[in-house]
Structure 1
Amino acid sequence: MASKGTALVTGAARGIGRAISLRLADDGFDVAVNDISAQSEALSGLVHEIKAKGRASSAHIADVSSEDAVRGMIEQVVATYGRLNVMVANAGVCSHAPIFELTAEKWDHTMNINARGTFLCYKYAGAQMVKQGEGGRIIGASSVTGKQGMAFNPSYSASKWAIRGLTQAAALEFGPHKITVNAYAPGVIDTDMLSTVVTPDTTREIVIDEMKKKSALGTVGAPADIANFVSFIASKESQFITGQSISVNGGMFFD
């Protein structure tokens, strides 16, 4: 099957990013995957899985908070595949601390990766898509906490609110070039990131049980639930949707 185009997924070594990468490969995209050097082994394994599906893939180690690294990563992807059609700015971190205990350094770390990193991916992916003149899909990662702030999670909440505003602004600027810009806003997804909210007084299982009670469906999500949504937003059928941050949260929060 001929390639539907080239997708780049950041923070792809595990969790939601990994699920998105594999789903886009199933959908017919060649998939370039990114993460930090500490995840290089997992990223290499993901590349092999994508290739086993009959699609081209490559690993790109880069810190998304570095402008030079993001610019260079996108240049590498274009040099390898000749184009970039879908950008999924998924990379993110989560810190869990009350405001009085949150240091400015941890605040900056979260904002640099989540908000600045997403901005840089939007900026350089958007510029490449404009240059190509074929339209494109840019997709970011917001959160339920980017729609309803969460106590003891101020930097993460703020960064995810920032992504919603950035997504709307980019949609307006890139729209004339037939580039849509949207974000997914997950609720509780069963990934390694859940460990950031586990305290010495509780366990992962207790946290998941408590989160299930907040869901209209009585469950938490899986990475595939987000990948299914991204699959649609990356498709031609989503061409009339832009500037949206769409909740995928099992009814944890209605908007």
Structure 2
Amino acid sequence: MSSLHGKVALVTGAGRGIGRGIALRLARDGADVALVDVDAEPVNAVADEVAEIGSKATTFVADVSEREQVFAAVDHAAAALDGFDIMVNNAGVALVGPIADVTPAEIRRVWSINVDGVLWGIQAAVAKFAELGNNRSGKISRIINASSIAGHDGFAMLGVYSASKFAVRALTQAAAKEHAADGVTVNAYCPGVVGTDMWVEIDKRFAELTGAAEGETYEKFVGGIALGRAETPDDVAGFVSYLAGPDAAYMTGQAGLIDGGLVYR
């Protein structure tokens, strides 16, 4: 039997990149998956992939910066898939630029998605776990948040993004302490340089700001990885699946680095 057989997971930002990789891995490990994204088209395509694996999927369009939309997504997941066990707060955006140039609008956008979105996901998940009586029935309840290597090191030209990911670590630790007695574990995953569209945009922005050739910044970061290659969404998804499963039952409040050997703690 697969490690997540019979479990219901929700993944935000599931239409592409790391979120898609996580959703497909959880499905391969037996979970039914609610796919949430701000755009309908990509999550519908991922739902078809989940169905090919043999798990159930449902989709929901939501902006994670809006609290009521996150709660509605969780309500939909629980109703459509008959339960709720795992919340993966994956959705996020990057911002590249010097701290001196950050505008109020830019910081509001990053914070509302990367931090507020995680907070609303935590709130919605713990409320649904309680409503369903997961703790009383002995079911696993997992909250898994997207931090980053930038949540352990503040990177130049990524100051606001780094701050948002440090904040995710703080929310993860506090929520783990507050909800341990409810049978809920709360952990975070901290990827490094992943070959996704986000890193394409980060590289382009570095090129604009520094004069580096396109691809140069990406290759520079990849060159510092001990394992000698860029990360893939599947690399991240394997760790998230572990956090979602029974073998991680005694782990909470942690923000694990999964970066191939780039940042060490």
TM over 0.5: yes
Contact 1:221 1:249 in 2 (8 A): yes
Q: Secondary structure at the match of 1:247?
A: strand
- Give the match for residue 18 of structure 1: 20
Structure 2 portions without partners, runs of 5+? 135-139
Cα deviation 1:12-52 (Å, max 9, x = unaligned): 10000000000000000000101003xx2111110011011
Q: Shift of residue 185 of structure 1?
A: 0.6
Q: Secondary structure at the match of 1:33?
A: strand
Task: Supply the distance in 2 between the matched residues of 1:22 and 1:168 (Cα, whole angstroms).
Answer: 27
Superposition map of 1:220-231 within 5 A: 220-231=230-241
Q: Shift of residue 81 of structure 1?
A: 1.7
Q: Shift of residue 67 of structure 1?
A: 0.9
RMSD of aligned Cα (Å):
1.4
Which amino acid counterpart does residue 254 of structure 2 have in structure 1?
A: Q
Q: Secondary structure at the match of 1:171?
A: helix
Q: Secondary structure at the match of 2:109?
A: helix
Contact 2:9 2:86 in 1 (8 A): yes
1:117 and 2:117 aligned: yes
Q: Shift of residue 206 of structure 1?
A: 1.9
Q: Shift of residue 121 of structure 1?
A: 0.2
Contact 1:208 1:220 in 2 (8 A): no
- Give the match for residue 251 of structure 1: 261
**Number of aligned pairs?**
253
Task: Supply the distance in 2 between the matched residues of 1:204 and 1:42 (Cα, whole angstroms).
Answer: 27
TM-score norm. by structure 1 comes to: 0.95
| Among 142, 145, 160, the residue aligned to 1:155 | 160
Cα deviation 1:43-92 (Å, max 9, x = unaligned): 11100110111111011100001011111111111111221101000000
Contact 1:133 1:177 in 2 (8 A): no
Q: Secondary structure at the match of 2:87?
A: strand
Which amino acid counterpart does residue 178 of structure 1 have in structure 2?
A: G
| Among 163, 173, 180, the residue aligned to 2:178 | 173
Q: Secondary structure at the match of 1:246?
A: strand
| Among 240, 243, 252, the residue aligned to 2:250 | 240
- Give the match for residue 133 of structure 1: 133
Q: Shift of residue 169 of structure 1?
A: 0.6
Q: Secondary structure at the match of 2:187?
A: strand
Task: Supply the distance in 2 between the matched residues of 1:44 and 1:203 (Cα, whole angstroms).
Answer: 36
